[in-house]
Amino acid sequence: MLDPSSHIGKKIARTIENFMALDLTGVGLIGNLYDALQKRQPGPACMNAASLICERVGQVGGPVVIATGFPEGAGVPETDGPVGAALLARALFLGLGVETVILTDDDWVEMMVGTCRGAGLAPLAFPSDGVIRPVDFIRPVYVRSVPKDDAGCKAITDGLLDVTKPSLVISIERPGRNDRGLYHGLGGRPLDGLVADLDQFFLRAKAQGIPFIAIGDGGNELGMGLIAEDLRTFSPKAKDSGHEGRGGVAAATAADHLIVSNVSNWGATGLIAALSALLEKPSVFHDGELERRCIEQCVSFGGVDGMFMGPEPAVDGISAAEWAGLVTSLRNTLDRLSGRVIGWKGQSGDWRQLK
């Protein structure tokens, strides 16, 4: 296992962070978001999250719960979030042998199942007794859905905590309620009736001492409360959504550990890359073609791109083909840092020793 405090460990962690801070979409928020995070939570966010996951799973075992799903018009889910959740579930299983339960709304199950298949996972029916047991000869993932009414949602999520007993909980591109208990899109759009309240699940998990890791890209995502105060100084709608009496879009619930990136799926990729490096298991980090297939499957089963607002194979306006190239670039960079390259004699080894 890689020592993250070693020279190479620090270089890998820093490189991943540099990739996370790229303004891929040109929105212009990521620089301020990253600075705010470093003020509140100094250090390499992806590598520290990977270390937390490895430590926690090693101590208590048990499945991981990942919540995702963000509604666009008419409540149709966007591609940012589900793709990252599915690929992270794959990494957790290949790297640590731990099963994942992906938590999303009732009307997004078909999309989530298709996305998981695109990630190379086999979605299985959630057990009726709520207990996750090992399954041989398959890469399992479980999709647990919740209704949008508060009582129904709470009954299911309480069962996840009391019976399924996750080792940790993760949110990725999931709406977070503001300090008035209301949900919004980043531009101020009210999400009333479009999304189940999962803040209560994460708050209860935190109260039980279950670590909560969040991934977000704008400030209105669940877990981003960690930097809510800072968001109001630079994010246009963080203080005022533009709708009278609703307050701003800044999420109030704070994660125990936060990862920010220009696109939330990209933040999941950074966490996957860090897990792969930390465990010294290259297979944990998927390749660009799997990223592309996962995005395409998400769209085929109901997801829409968050910029085009249609079933385009893209995430936040960046095409699946471009995402494939970005993932390949990050993988290749980390391979070079780790010495996993083919040298001039055709041998695989540490190129630094050939110079």
Nearest CA among 237, 252, 81 for reference residue 182: 252
Report the pLDDT value the prediction gives residue 266, as an integer from 0 to 100. 98
Sorted by where each starts, the structural domains of the chain and their CATH numbers stand as 7-354 (3.90.1640.20)
- Looking from the CA of 279 toward its CB, the CA atoms found within 13 Å total 26
pLDDT at 354 over 80: no
Q: What share of the chain is helix, strand, coil (3-state, %, to 5)?
A: 45, 15, 40
**Which helix H or strand E contains 334, and what residues bound it?**
helix 320-338
Please state the rounded mean pLDDT for residues 181-189.
96
pLDDT at 169 over 80: yes
**Which helix H or strand E contains 314, and what residues bound it?**
strand 314-315
Q: CA-CA distance, 26 to 48, in Å (whole number)?
A: 27
Tens-place pLDDT, residues 292-323: 999 999 999 999 999 999 999 999 999 999 99
pLDDT at 350 over 60: no
170-174, 195-199, 223-227, 338-342: segment of lowest average pLDDT? 338-342
Amino acid identity, position 49: A
Cβ partners under 8 Å of residue 314, min gap 6:
79, 295, 305, 307, 308, 320
Nearest CA among 351, 286, 280 for reference residue 323: 286
Residues of the chain with pLDDT > 70: what percent?
Answer: 96
Q: CA-CA distance, 167 to 311, in Å (whole number)?
A: 35
Q: CA-CA distance, 104 to 255, in Å (whole number)?
A: 18
Please state the rounded mean pLDDT for residues 84-103.
98
Amino acid identity, position 117: R
pLDDT at 235 over 70: yes
